[in-house]
Amino acid sequence: MSSNTAPIGVIDSGIGGLSVLQSLLTALPHEHFVYLADNGHAPYGEKTDLFVRQRTHAIAQHLIDRHHIKALVVACNTATAAAIHELRARHPQLVLVGVEPALKPATQRTRTRRVGVMATKGTVASDKFQRLLASLDPATHFEVKACNGLALAIEQSTLPAQADAAQAEISRLLKQYVSELGAFGTHSGEIDTLVLGCTHYVFAQDQLQQLVGPEVQLISTGDPVARQTQRLLETTGLLNPHAAVARAHGRVNLYTTGDLAGLKAAAHRWLQLPASDCHLATNI
């Protein structure tokens, strides 16, 4: 396989990164993708920084050695905050794209100058997030909430045996965290923009929209990450050359270090991908 036709790796602590993969498939339909969900160690957002760095490096190395990826999308805010700088130093030959909460776009779109941010504990506590927050226009006020347990509940909602209980927990947590963030709306003093600072939360956005109201904007990172990936592949000459002549879509393979049934359910539910695209990843 030439470097141009090599796959793009996409990694996350679990199924949350499927929301980013969804945007990548739309923007780059002729590319090949290998998605690896570290469900066996999820969620990252409540793990130590050292643990997240070690797992991120191990998974990245696995995709390089086993699948010969040409690019890596770290589709996890926590892993990006903890490890992206080290990944760039270790793998300078690799096109690397991370994710971060969309605070900058939120400052451009808010009218009330009040923005809510839902993210994991690991993301909120990271130096990277704090530097990003400090770099923004002080005229915009950010209400930041570390949403412990929410990513895990969304993970568990894909498992048939736990789906009902997990969905009830998702509803409970969403109500709690939305209430704690404050008043939502378009009037002065109200939060009119909500940043989904974890890729998992995209899969709860319909429920979130109902809670905060239809006039509140929800902002996630999938589409900007897909555009950045496409830009970097074009700049480095690594776009799949067949994209110009072929109409067939690229291949997608999904792997998990955890429960295969959960990945199959999530892939079918949110990406309409068949169970045959999903596999177990071992010895990582």
pLDDT (0 to 100) of residue 244: 47
Residue 245 clears pLDDT 50, i.e. is over it: no
Q: Which of 115, 178, 194, 198 is catalytic?
A: 198
Confidence of residue 101 (pLDDT cuts 50, 70, 90): very high
Chain centroid to Cα 43, Å, comes to 12
pLDDT (0 to 100) of residue 3: 87
Residue 247 clears pLDDT 80, i.e. is over it: no
pLDDT in tens, 134-192: 999 899 999 999 999 999 999 899 888 899 999 999 999 999 999 999 999 999 999 99
Q: Are 181 and 201 in contact (CB under 8 A)?
A: no
- Write b or e for each residue in 157-166: b if 16 or more Cβ atoms lie within 10 A of its Cβ, otherwise e: bbbeebeeeb
To the query of whether residue 76 is one of the catalytic residues in this protein, the response is yes
* Helix H or strand E segment including 219: strand 217-219
pLDDT (0 to 100) of residue 246: 42
| Domains, the chain, with CATH or none | 8-99+222-280 (3.40.50.1860), 103-219 (3.40.50.1860)
Question: How many residues are present in the chain?
Answer: 284
Residue 218 clears pLDDT 50, i.e. is over it: yes
Which one-letter DSSP state was computed for residue 41?
Answer: G
Mean pLDDT to the nearest integer, 24-38: 95
pLDDT (0 to 100) of residue 2: 59
pLDDT (0 to 100) of residue 71: 97
Q: Which of 34, 76, 194, 263 is catalytic?
A: 76
Phi-psi group of 252: left, alpha or beta (phi > 0 → left; psi -120 to 50 → alpha; rest → beta): beta
Query: The whole model's pTM is what?
Result: 0.90
To the query of whether residue 278 is one of the catalytic residues in this protein, the response is no
Burial group, residue 204, by CB count within 10 angstroms (0-12, 13-18, 19+): buried
Q: What's the mean pLDDT when you consider all of the chain?
A: 93
What is the C-alpha separation between 73 and 65, in angstroms, rounded?
Answer: 16
Least confident residue range of 19-23, 89-93, 191-195, 237-241: 237-241
